[in-house]
Amino acid sequence: EGKKKARESCSLPEPPWEERLANAVTPLWRLPYQEQLQVKYESQRKILQTLASRLEELGIDAQKPGGLCCPLQPVVPSPIINGYRNKSTFSVNRGPDGNPKTVGLYVGTGRERNIVCVKANHVHNVPSKHKQIAQCYEEFICRSPLDSCILFHEGGHWRELVVRTTTRGHAMAIVTFHPQQLGQEALAAQKALLKEFFTCGPGAVCALTSLYFQESTMTRCSHEQSPYQLLHGAPHIFEELLGLKFRISPDAFFQVNTAGAEVLYQAVGQLCQATGDTVLLDICCGTGTIGLSLAHRVSKVIGVEVVEKAIEDAEWNAAFNGISNSEFHSGKAEAVLPELLASWEDSRPLVAVVNPSRAGLHYRVVRAIRNCRSIRRLLYISCKPEGEAMRNFLELCCPPDPRKKLAGEPFAPVLAVPFDMFPHTVHCELVLLFTR
C-alpha cells in the first residue's frame, strides 16, 4: 500500500482533456511530418514482411530483399496535412465536466467504461468548419428539453452528428435522433426546431448547404433501413476531383482526404497500365470516383457498389461529366460479381481495382476474380492492410484449391505503394499491385 501511494505521488499529472483526445485520435500529431511518414513506412514494411512469411507458410517463395513480399515505395505524402478531413462523425455523450450533451470525440473505451466525450477543437485533422457545426449542434441540444441518447435502453433522443464538406465550400450536416416513443407530431416539432436553429437561429452562421435528419433505433442505419430526411437545402453536395464534378449523398463513400485522393487516383491510373482497349472493373466503387477519373484512358468502366444511393450518384456523375463508357451495378459484390464474371467472354484486357471497407472482400468475390482468366492485373487499395485485407491477399496468392472451388492461377504481389491519406494518425492507405 505504501509503495502504491509513493508511485501515485510521483506519477505525472494527467494531461488536459484536449491533449488526451489529440493523443487518442491523432497519435502522431507531435512529430514533424517527415518523421510521421517514416513511422508509416516502417509499419507498412512490417506488413509486407508478415505477408511474405504467411505466403512462405503456403509454400510460395515470396521473400524479396529485406524479407518483403515485393518492393515497397516511400510513403506518398498528403498535399494537405491539417484540417484535411471532408467527413467527421461527432458523438454525443458526457463531457469532462459531466455535461451529458457534449458533442465531440471519444477518449476511453466502452469495455473499460471510462468513455468521455471531448470537444474536437484542438484536433489537427478536423477542419474548423466541422468544429463550428459541432459547436452549434451542441448549443442546440443544450437548449432542447429532450435528453441526449447515450444508451438506447435508458431513453433520450439526440445522438451523433455527421458533417461532410467539400472544397467548393459546401457543408452537409446529418443529425441522428432516437425517436423512442415520440409520435409523428412531436417528431415534426423537433425537426422544425432543428431547421429553425440552423436557418434563422444561431446555427445560421454555419451556412449549411444541406441539413438532414435520421430517425435511428440502431447504432448505424443505412438510408434503406431508415431514410435520411432532408430538412433544409440541397439533397447533395458537390466536389471536384481531377477535373470532374462529383455528387455526394449523405451515406455515399468518398475518400476522406480529397487532395490526397487526387494523388492516389492518378497513381492508380499509372499502376493499372490501362490502354484504350482495357476494361476497368471498379469493385466497391462508391460514387464512381476511381473508375470515372480513369474513364478517358480505357474502353469501358464497370462499377459495383452495395450502397444504392452511391450508385445513383455514380450514374449521375457519369452523365454530368459526359462519360458514356461506364456502367454501374448496385448490390453486394459477392452477389453481383460472380454472375458478371462467370459469363465473361470479352477479349479485351480486364484490370480490376478493389477498394473495400475494413472488412475486406467476401471470399466469393476473391474466388470470382481468381477464376476469371481475363483478369491479369489487380490493384488492391486498403486502409487497413494488416486486418481482413491480409486474408484476401493470401486468398489471391494461394495455390489452386478444388475443395474451395478456387481453380484460377494465383496472383503474386509485385509492388506496394503507401499513401498518407490520414496525416497525424497511424493509418495509411496501401496500394498493392498483383499480377499473374
Helices 128-143/184-199 angle, 10° precision:
130
| Range 75-104 average pLDDT | 97
For residue 106, what is the domain's CATH number?
2.40.50
The pLDDT confidence band at residue 95, using thresholds 50, 70 and 90, is very high
Cα–Cα distance measured from residue 160 to residue 395, given in angstroms and rounded to the nearest whole number: 37
In a domain, 230, yes or no: yes
Residue 307 DSSP one-character state = -
**Of 80, 193, 191, 207, which Cα lies nearest the Cα of 133?**
207
Domain identity same for 411 and 305: yes
Task: Flag whether 255 is marked binding.
Answer: yes
Q: Is 355 a known ligand-binding residue? A: yes
Give the whole-number percent of the chain exceeding pLDDT 70: 97
Q: Which of 83-87, 123-127, 214-218 has the lowest mean pLDDT?
A: 214-218
SS3 category, 157:
coil
* One domain for residues 229 and 263: no
Q: What is the DSSP letter of 72?
A: B
The predicted model gives 44-54 an average pLDDT of 95
Query: Which amino acid is residue 346, in one-letter code?
Result: D
In a domain, 360, yes or no: yes
| pLDDT score, position 352 | 96
What was the pLDDT predicted at 270?
A: 94
Mind listing the pLDDT tens digit for each residue in 177-229?
A: 999 999 999 999 999 999 999 999 999 999 999 999 999 887 777 777 789 99
Tell me what pLDDT residue 10 has. 54
Q: Are residues 269 and 185 in the same domain?
A: no
Whether the per-residue pLDDT at 76 is higher than 90: the answer is yes
Does residue 425 share a domain with residue 369?
yes
Q: Is residue 62 part of a domain?
A: no
Contacts for 242 with CB less than 8 Å, ≥ 6 apart: 262, 265, 266, 293
Instruction: Provide the number of structural domains found in the chain.
Output: 2
Name the band, by pLDDT with cuts 50, 70 and 90, for residue 251.
Answer: confident
Residue 59: left if φ>0, alpha if ψ -120 to 50, beta else—which one? left
- For residue 11, what pLDDT band results from cuts at 50, 70 and 90? low
For residue 127, tell me if it sits in a domain: yes
Burial group, residue 425, by CB count within 10 angstroms (0-12, 13-18, 19+): middle
Q: State the pLDDT at residue 114.
A: 81
Q: Which range marks the domain in which residue 316 is found?
A: 257-435
Report the range of poorest mean pLDDT among 57-71, 125-139, 156-170, 298-312. 57-71
C-alpha cell, 142 = 443544450
pLDDT averaged over the chain?
A: 92
pLDDT in tens, 274-310: 888 999 999 999 889 999 999 999 999 999 998 888 8
Residue 94, in any domain of the structure: yes
Range with the largest mean pLDDT of 198-207, 362-371, 406-415: 198-207
The whole-angstrom distance between residue 351's C-alpha and the CA centroid of its chain comes to 23
Longest CA–CA span in the chain (Å) reads 79
Q: Which residues contact 371 (CB under 8 A, 6 or more apart)?
A: 341, 405, 406, 407, 408
Which residue numbers are catalytic? Answer: 383
Question: What single-letter DSSP state applies at residue 333?
Answer: H
Please report the pLDDT score of residue 1 as a whole number: 53
Name residues whose C-beta falls within 8 Å of residue 38's C-beta, 6 or more positions apart in sequence. Answer: none
Nearest Cα neighbor of 371 from 346, 341, 398 is: 341
* 172 plus 264 within the same structural domain: no
pLDDT of residue 13 exceeding 90, the answer is no
Residue 12 lies in a domain: no
Instruction: Quote the CA–CA distance of 171 and 188 in Å, as a whole number.
Output: 23
Q: Which of 204, 235, 266 is the last residue of a domain?
A: 235
Per-residue confidence band for 321, with pLDDT thresholds at 50, 70 and 90: very high
Give the DSSP letter string of 376-420.
EEEEEEES-TTTHHHHHHHHHHSPPBGGGTB-SPPPEEEEEEEE-
Q: Does residue 6 surpass a pLDDT of 60? A: no
First-residue to last-residue Cα distance in the chain:
64
Please say if the pLDDT value at position 19 is more than 60: yes
- Please state, in angstroms and rounded to a whole number, the distance separating the CA atoms of residues 316 and 419: 28
Residues 277 and 415 in one domain: yes
357: CATH? 3.40.50.150
- Distance from C-alpha of 356 to C-alpha of 359, rounded to nearest angstrom: 7
Question: Residues with Cβ < 8 Å from 233, sequence gap 6 or more?
Answer: 208, 209, 210, 211
pLDDT, position 357: 86
pLDDT exceeds 80 at position 425 = yes
Does one domain contain both 228 and 303?
no
Same domain? 217 vs 346: no
The residues facing 279 across adjacent strands are 300, 350
* Residue 96 shares a structural domain with residue 212: yes
Q: Are 285 and 154 contained in the same domain? A: no
What is the DSSP track for 201-212?
A: SGGGGG--SEEE
Q: What is the pLDDT of residue 219?
A: 74
* pLDDT confidence band for 252 (50 / 70 / 90): confident
Please report the pLDDT score of residue 7 as a whole number: 46
Say yes or no: 355 and 278 in one domain: yes
Specify whether 261 is located in the same domain as 341: yes
- Domain contains 145: yes
Q: What is the arithmetic mean of pLDDT over 377-391?
A: 93
β-pairing, 279-283 with 244-248?
unpaired
The answer to whether position 37 is within a domain reads: no
